[in-house]
């Protein structure tokens, strides 16, 4: 599960108090929920149904709306943090928990069914995003990274660094955190992080690679000059392996579903079948420059042995390992 927030208009939120003052009743609100016209996302706050919102994108949109509703409904001094702050700042995450809104407060902490209030000093790590007080990107990244698995930590660190967080900022945040408070996860993940990764799938793929002794570390975001229909242009591949002379011998590409969605890097209004055809032309053009090409999917990243076998086979064909 990958988290990248959909666009959301804060004016879409419907507050019970405003509804009652306009002449409508609680019965009207209950009827709206029953009929699927709106959904209750927080106590006294509703979100109208939106056409075209479905699947995981709909879950993300609802989560971001819930964060805003919770923040605007809270009466105490607290700051949106952890996964919730990253969601507001549109940072991708691996399998985020969308059931709770995270805050940090310098007073006391508590956990309820819908919210987690972390007790910690904020040390000035607060900014405003879309009218909401959230922890800074370096702070949010490190806070979230130490709450889950190593895979989740590396993925969010990659995404944070890709968005501009520096290694020095990560080191500073780690140094300020309480010793032993899941700091080991963060300490192990930071050396593995690389801001060149452009998706959670790429981050996971790289983690699978480094865990096999026969798979050499690839270059990331490899630039290649290709010829498509007589026109030369630069393209970027996710991974690349070179021989001892520095010649590019193998290209690796993570195939995420987003590449074949209408909103895709090849054109916002293009149909999925057009995108797939364009991607085939791109791959053929890459092969014409010399290197072999190996592709894998999200499912492969969840089965390390399968991905290991696929990569080792490709490396052998390319003459990079024996």
Return the pLDDT at 109. Answer: 85
CA dihedral of residues 271, 273, 279, 285 (deg, nearest 10): -120
**CA–CA distance, 87 with 281 (Å, rounded to integer):** 35
Which of 100, 99, 109 is CA-nearest to residue 78? 109
Q: Residues 132, 102: contact at Cβ < 8 Å?
A: no
Which of 38, 98, 99, 110 is CA-nearest to residue 74? 110
Residue spans per domain, the chain: 1-66, 76-194, 201-317
**CA–CA distance, 174 with 91 (Å, rounded to integer):** 19
How do residues 198-218 score in pLDDT, each as one tens digit? 999 999 999 999 999 999 999
**CA end-to-end span of the chain, whole Å?**
35
Q: Kindly state the percentage of the chain with pLDDT values over 90.
A: 60
The band of 227, judged by pLDDT with boundaries at 50, 70 and 90, is confident
Higher pLDDT, 258 or 157: 157
Return the pLDDT at 8. Answer: 46
Return the pLDDT at 261. Answer: 37
Higher pLDDT, 13 or 180: 13
Return the pLDDT at 208. Answer: 95
Model-level pTM greater than 0.75? Answer: yes
Which of 126, 190, 199, 187 is CA-nearest to residue 162? 199
Which distant-in-sequence residues (6+ apart) come within 8 Å of 291 by Cβ? 224, 240, 248, 249, 250, 251, 318
């Amino acid at each position: 599960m990958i988290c990248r927030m959909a666009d959301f208009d804060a004016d879409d939120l419907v507050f019970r108090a405003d509804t009652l003052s306009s002449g409508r009743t609680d019965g009207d609100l209950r009827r709206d929920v029953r009929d699927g016209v709106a959904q209750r996302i927080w106590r006294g706050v509703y979100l109208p149904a939106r056409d075209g919102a479905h699947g995981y994108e709909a879950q993300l949109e609802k989560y971001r709306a819930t964060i805003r509703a919770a923040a605007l409904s809270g009466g105490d001094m607290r700051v949106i943090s952890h996964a919730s702050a990253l969601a507001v700042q549109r940072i991708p995450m691996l399998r985020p928990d969308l059931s709770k809104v995270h805050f940090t407060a310098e007073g006391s902490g508590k956990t309820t069914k819908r919210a987690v209030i972390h007790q910690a000093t904020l040390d000035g790590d607060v900014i405003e995003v879309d009218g909401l007080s959230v922890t800074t990107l370096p702070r949010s990244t490190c806070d979230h990274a130490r709450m889950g698995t190593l895979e989740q930590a590396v993925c969010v660190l990659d995404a944070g660094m890709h968005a501009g967080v520096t290694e020095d900022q990560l080191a500073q945040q780690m140094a300020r955190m309480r010793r032993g408070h899941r700091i080991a996860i963060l300490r192990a993940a930071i050396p593995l992080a690389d801001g060149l990764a452009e998706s959670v799938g790429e981050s996971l793929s790289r983690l699978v690679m480094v865990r096999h002794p026969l798979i050499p570390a690839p270059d990331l975001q490899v630039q290649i000059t290709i010829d498509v229909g007589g026109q030369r242009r630069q393209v970027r591949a996710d991974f690349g392996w070179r021989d001892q002379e520095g010649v590019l011998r193998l290209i690796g590409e993570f195939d995420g579903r987003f590449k074949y969605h209408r909103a895709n890097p090849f054109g916002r209004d293009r149909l999925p079948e057009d995108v797939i055809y364009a991607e085939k032309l791109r791959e053929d053009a890459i092969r014409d420059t010399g290197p072999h090409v190996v592709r894998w999917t999200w499912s492969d990243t969840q089965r390390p042995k399968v991905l290991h076998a696929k990569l080792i086979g490709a490396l052998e064909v390319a003459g990079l390992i024996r």
